[in-house]
Amino acid sequence: MTMEPQELKSKLHGVIGFPVTPFHKDLSLDAEGLRRNVQFMAKHPMCALVAAGGTGEVYSLTPAEHHAVVQTTVEAAGRIPVIAGVGVNPHLAAELARQSQAAGASGILMLPSYYINAHDDGLLDYYATIAAATPLGHLIYSRDWVNLTSAMVERLAARIPNLVALKDGQGDLRALQRIKNRVGDRLEWIGGIGDDMVPGYYSLGIRTYTSSISAIAPRLSLQLHERASALDMASLHRLMTNYVIPLYNIRSRKRGYEVSVMKACMQILGMPAGPVRPPLTWIRPEEENELRSLMERYKPVLSEYS
């Protein structure tokens, strides 16, 4: 469902769901499994879904697979806007952005480039090149080695007219507060590092966040948003203590576990997920047992998967 950049920006209030990309045992794409998972998530009032994001293992996908993931997500999402993740280098990212627009995506999430030591001037050209490829609204994902200053975000907002949002993946609330104060409502601000940061993000006035938990428990993701928006800190604390923090404690044990743990949870719950592609690694047997116990605890916040 394509839309104008400002229309997309206006819809980015609430929970943005992050479907994983399911694979078969031989690591080939499981498009039908993805369709079923997205249909499950789309039964809940997400403000958007991200196809082929970081949780969707975007860097492991071929261009053909990327197109299949975006197209399948768009078809299964119904009226929910779909934002396609792109990155690696500007030419490939621009190609993926164009084919995502053709597949019906409503926006583009620009992930970091392959070059980890890029100067701000080079990053500016990188993002501007991608954003010029389509008229869709674009979001920048500030994560890993892309740690943007307030001055740089201001430059990006001035250079890229169809830039509509910044997705924070650093979790530095002090720096994010400075960026928001400098750039104001020119951009939508998205809490993007994880469900465990909802209390911190919402304390800054942010009212949109990207949820990995939405892949298994969309109701819980929406409850986190609702409680935090209402400043119901006691209820929010209970949700964080009972469900979110125990899951994120396991996710934090090894790089890449943010994907592996979610896929393991999905398999425990009978959802299509499959293995992860290298260089990501699978969880240990004892951790799978921990997750089985945790998913038992999750039963009150789970929706029926069908």
Q: How far apart are CA 1 and CA 48, in angstroms?
A: 11
User: What's the rounded Cα separation, in Å, for the pair 265 and 299?
Assistant: 12
Residue 192 CA to residue 198 CA, distance in Å, equals 9
Both structure tokens of 146: 């892309």
Q: Structure tokens of 286?
A: 């004892």
Task: State the number of CA atoms in the 13 A half-sphere of 258 facing the CB.
Answer: 17
Amino acid in position 160: I
Asked whether the beta carbons of 283 and 289 are under 8 A apart, the reply is no
How far apart, in whole angstroms, are the C-alpha atoms of residue 32 and residue 71? 12
Which residues are 98's β-sheet partners? Answer: none
Catalytic machinery residues: 141, 167
Q: Are 140 and 120 in contact (CB under 8 A)?
A: no
Assigned token pair, 109:
């999430």
- The whole-angstrom separation of Cα 306 and Cα 304 is 6
